[in-house]
Amino acid sequence: MERIYTTKKGELFLGNFTEVYSEYLKEHYENKIQLIITSPPFPLNNKKRYGNLTGEEYLKWFESFAPIFSSLLKENGSLVIEIGNVWEKNRPVQSLLHLEALMNLVRHPYANLRLIQEFIVYNPSRLPSPAQWVTVNRIRTIDSYTHVWWIAKSDFPKADNRKVLRPYSSSMKNLLKRKKYNSGKRPSEHYIGEKSFLKNNGGSIAHNFFEMKPLDEKREVRLPYNVLSFSNSSSNDYFLKRCRELGIKPHPARMHPGVAAFFIEFLTDENDLVLDPFAGSNTTGYVAEMLNRRWIACELKKEYVEQSKIRFEDPIFAQKEEV
């Protein structure tokens, strides 16, 4: 374990997460972390260079973190995990491995965890996969989304969906201008009052579905405001631009900064503590720093730790200090 760098809000450790936990986090941060958010190595059937395990080995590895995560989280803290689908090796059959991993995690007898809600991150621009069955044999469709599991120690973790509103639709904006709509009983048997939708709340409640890029360029994608800001801001291109300039191959499985921003704002307040145990190029730390949260990140591979430093060279941090 080695602390590689610190910032105004956080610190990054090079090393195996279980070692960082036993040598540092266990003593200093038990029951103090508000949010653990991570995109761990996916349980693929063929090993990738970023270090994933396979099969039963992965299940045991994944389950072992349940009591560790639980001990670090505050009683009202949250655990957010992004993970992709898995396919059986050499077969056009989807594996249950990722679902078994979830079940083992939340059913661990000493962790007291439960699944709060599932989210879907849909990216229509993803490359066709699994390639053998999609582009060669043409017998499956493109696997174009990942799961995000929101897990917690209690039924009521800290959360406020008013902090992650999405823009109103055009029809809702018109309704607010007209100050009237068709009220009364609906076919669903819900009763809509005469003033139920006349209050302007600044936006509509977010859905548990993130469409990161539109299928139809003419159609507006109504992601939450903070997801949009991290998706559209040119500052988010800084990391990839610098990697290209320096001839660095960026981490191949980066969490989208907009997704990290959504959960950090939804589930924490400023100066709360956020942890990413499998940080990769440290999207979590970058976003947490931007949103004025304290953070801790751990990463096993030195090449990803080194490239993560680029994120904090982003000129946007200097601009924030000047304001």
Whole-prediction pTM: 0.90
Token digits for 166?
A: 């999405």
pLDDT value of position 50: 41
239 and 314 Cβ atoms separated by less than 8 Å: yes
* Domain residue spans of the chain: 2-166+205-322, 168-202
Alpha carbon of residue 295 to chain centroid:
15
Q: What pLDDT is stored for residue 41 in this prediction?
A: 81
Per-residue confidence (pLDDT) for residue 49, from 0 to 100: 46
* 310 phi and psi angles, rounded to 5 deg: -60, -35
| Structure tokens that stand for 174 in this block | 């018109």
What pLDDT score does 234 carry?
47
Q: Which CATH architecture has domain 2-166+205-322?
A: 3-Layer(aba) Sandwich (3.40)
- What are the distances in angstroms from CA 242 to CA 180, 221, 279, 311? 52, 28, 19, 9
Helix 283-290, helix 257-267: angle, nearest 10: 50
* Contact partners, residue 42, CB within 8 Å, separation at least 6: 52, 83, 84, 86, 98, 253
Q: What is the pLDDT of residue 232?
A: 54
Sheet of 2-6, strand order = 2-6, 10-14, 294-299, 273-276, 33-38, 73-84, 145-152, 114-122, 209-211
- pLDDT per residue of the chain (323 residues) written in tens, 0 to 9: 899 999 999 999 999 999 999 999 999 999 999 999 999 886 654 544 444 556 788 899 999 999 999 999 999 999 999 998 888 889 999 989 889 999 999 999 999 999 999 999 988 878 898 899 999 999 999 999 999 999 999 999 999 999 999 988 888 888 888 887 777 787 877 788 777 778 888 999 999 998 876 656 666 777 787 776 666 554 458 899 999 999 999 888 888 899 999 999 999 999 999 999 999 999 999 999 999 999 999 999 999 999 999 999 999 888 777 65
| CA–CA separation, 81 and 101 (whole Å) | 11
116 in Cβ contact with 77 (< 8 Å): no
